Structure 1
Amino acid sequence: MNAVWKPLSRALLPALLLAAQGCGGDDDVEPKTYTVRFSPQVRQEALSCTTSFTDIGTSRGVIELLDFRMYVRDVTLIRANGERHALKLAQDGEWQRDAIALLDFEDGTGTCRTGSPGTHRAVTGTAPEHDDYTGLEFKVGLPPDRNHLDVEAEAAPLDVRDMWWSWQGGYKFVKLDIRTQQNAAYYFHLGASGCQGSNADGYTCGAANQATVALDGFDPETNQVVLDVAGLLSELDVNRTPAGSDMMPGCMSGPTDPECAPLLSQFGLNADGTPKALPKTFFKVR
């Protein structure tokens, strides 16, 4: 009896230890609903469709908001010990689907004549309940395998025509349009660029522009993600008159567009879409 029991117990010991550890792990932690809030601002002032904002960029210009929307995905809360817990997003049939959410900061009033009065300024989902979440990570945009879809056939939030980039065959990950003193529309559209192909055959893109945002000091109960448009535009002349081969004010994610490099940099991307260190100028924790 003892001769049989000893080798069996040695073999079973690792499994028993793992089982015991599992009993105290997150499998036994009740899920809790968490809300990750996003606050578009110009420095300390809330960004809105009914206010003009001064002292923007290198020319210290005046801007007015026309449109501001952004896709985010894979929102993850990070504990003090480094454990990561992805939010299981609420499937609301309008703004959130699978692990993807569309943030919409314009309300169709004032200068934002988009015909889109609905807004969505937070991502809601469930994660194991812990009181020591101290970090946040999320990706901006859609993954390559979801980027090249038929917008007319997709369910919300991938059915928004204004976020479809027909000439790139994909979605705009970020759509920020403003009006300046010299430009009736100044654009920043972030998305995969240099794309060729078709929905049937697939696409290849020169720059996937997949941005990952990691923020420390974030408690979902008390903090929010600030999107500081003044910081985003800090290195640009928003009153610049397009000239030469650069005929459009702003950036459409072209790797050779001189206005793209400082904008993509704020998302932790080089002009060619490769990753770089994320500055703390646009994305902030408050």
Structure 2
Amino acid sequence: MKKKLILASTLAGTAILGSFLAIDRHQATAAETQEIEIKFSAAVGEKSFNCGESYSNLGTSAATVTPTDFRFYVSEVALIDGSGKAVPLTLKQDGKWQHQNVALLDFENKSGACANGTAEIRDRLIGTIPKGNYKGLQFTLGVPFSLNHEDASLAPSPLNLTSLWWNWRGGYKFLRIDMKNQMADKNPDGKSGTQSSQIAGSEGSRGGSHGGGLQGFVIHLGSTGCKAEGNNQKPTSCATPNKSKVIFSSFDPTKNTVIADLKSLVSQTNLAVNQANTPPGCMSDPKDGDCAGIMKNLGLPFGNKPAAGQTFFQVK
């Protein structure tokens, strides 16, 4: 009987000790890391982005547009320490906005002209990082190849939005900005006509659902030239990944915000016209001249032009 009591007491003591050790390990881990929030904001020049608001003097034609969508995925987020080393941010797995190392930033709220979107907005990343002194920020605009070619109808949130997905081969739309352009309802001679309906009707050529037939100019960034054995098979590679790496040498998450500026993105693009026999605006087709200025401002190569410094994202 005494042996049983001693054994039970020993087992209980071992269990208690294990509990204390687990608590100590958790506290030690918490003490070694810090939670970080990285704030983002969508803007059109000096103005904040708002669904349904019209913005003038955009692009080379000084067009007036009404944005109807503004969303993008970022991944591989890291802070840069004093020695220049990029230290990955471990994103909080919230089951909604962040999955593995991918996060969705969403600035439309399904109101007004943004009827194709979702009601909630998301303007920040949340994660943990080892405690230390950090001076910079880097991230990738896009979805990693390992996650980019899944079935959106079966994928976890935020990769389950079919409005941000083309198909198995193309993968996700890393960036989606849609605009209604007042000029799109006129023919080149200035008379009311069918230019906008022609633009809207061509959108389906890239695949996926876009809802309602868009009129005007859209920017859908994604991978192209992805090779696969069949339409429902994952590709083994993509000729043009179209993922943009963004680096800020000076960034303080307690003070700074990353600004995604639509006016800067389209500064070298004529929003009032569309290249013949191409989808509306820029849908990442390497043969679509409407993408030239946009890809340049995203810091991506296009055609025979090498990548230049991106201007879409800024720090304030």
Would you say same fold, with TM above 0.5?
A: yes
Query: Partners of 1:274 and 1:168 in 2: how far apart?
Result: 25
Aligned residues: 257
Which entry has the higher C-alpha Rg, 1 or 2?
A: 2
SS of the residue corresponding to residue 251 of structure 1 reads coil
Q: What displacement does 1:270 show?
A: 0.8
Give the conservation status (yes or no) of the 8 Å contact 2:76–2:139: yes
Higher helix share goes to which structure? 2
| Deviation digits for residues 213-261 of structure 1 (CA, Å, limit 9, x no counterpart) | 1112210110011111100010111111x35333x33111011111112
Evaluate the alpha carbon distance shift between residue 189 and residue 263 of structure 1 in structure 2; reply closer, same or farther with a 3 A threshold.
Answer: same
Q: Counterparts of 1:87-102 in structure 2 under 5 Å?
A: 87-102=89-104
**Paired amino acid for 1:245:** N
**Match for residue 269 of structure 1?**
300
**Match for residue 230 of structure 1?**
263
Query: Partners of 1:205 and 1:97 in 2: how far apart?
Result: 23
Structure 2: segments with no counterpart, 5+ residues: 1-28, 185-214
Give the conservation status (yes or no) of the 8 Å contact 1:148–1:203: no
Query: Does residue 77 of the first structure (1) align with residue 79 of the second (2)?
Result: yes
**Match for residue 139 of structure 2?**
138
**Paired amino acid for 2:241:** A
Query: Does residue 283 of the first structure (1) align with residue 313 of the second (2)?
Result: yes
Evaluate the alpha carbon distance shift between residue 182 and residue 227 of structure 1 in structure 2; reply closer, same or farther with a 3 A threshold.
Answer: same
SS of the residue corresponding to residue 75 of structure 1 reads strand
| Deviation digits for residues 186-216 of structure 1 (CA, Å, limit 9, x no counterpart) | 1111100122324546343221112111112
Evaluate the alpha carbon distance shift between residue 173 and residue 201 of structure 1 in structure 2; reply closer, same or farther with a 3 A threshold.
Answer: closer
Moved segments of 4+, more than 6 Å: none
| Deviation digits for residues 169-200 of structure 1 (CA, Å, limit 9, x no counterpart) | 41111111111112323111110012232454
Give me the CA root mean square deviation: 2.2
Give the conservation status (yes or no) of the 8 Å contact 1:68–1:176: yes
TM-score w.r.t. the length of structure 2 is 0.76
Query: Partners of 1:72 and 1:275 in 2: how far apart?
Result: 22
| Deviation digits for residues 43-74 of structure 1 (CA, Å, limit 9, x no counterpart) | 12111103211111111111111111111001
Give the conservation status (yes or no) of the 8 Å contact 1:54–1:63: yes
**Match for residue 156 of structure 1?**
157
Query: Does residue 181 of the first structure (1) align with residue 182 of the second (2)?
Result: yes
| Deviation digits for residues 89-130 of structure 1 (CA, Å, limit 9, x no counterpart) | 011000101111011110011111125101111111011233
**Match for residue 224 of structure 2?**
193
Query: Partners of 2:237 and 2:255 in 1: how far apart?
Result: 41
Evaluate the alpha carbon distance shift between residue 171 and residue 243 of structure 1 in structure 2; reply closer, same or farther with a 3 A threshold.
Answer: closer
Query: Partners of 1:252 and 1:207 in 2: how far apart?
Result: 13
TM-score w.r.t. the length of structure 1 is 0.83
SS of the residue corresponding to residue 162 of structure 1 reads helix
Query: Partners of 2:306 and 2:38 in 1: how far apart?
Result: 24
Give the conservation status (yes or no) of the 8 Å contact 2:108–2:117: no
SS of the residue corresponding to residue 50 of structure 2 reads coil
Q: What displacement does 1:152 show?
A: 1.5
Higher strand share goes to which structure? 1
**Match for residue 55 of structure 1?**
57
Q: Percent identity?
A: 36
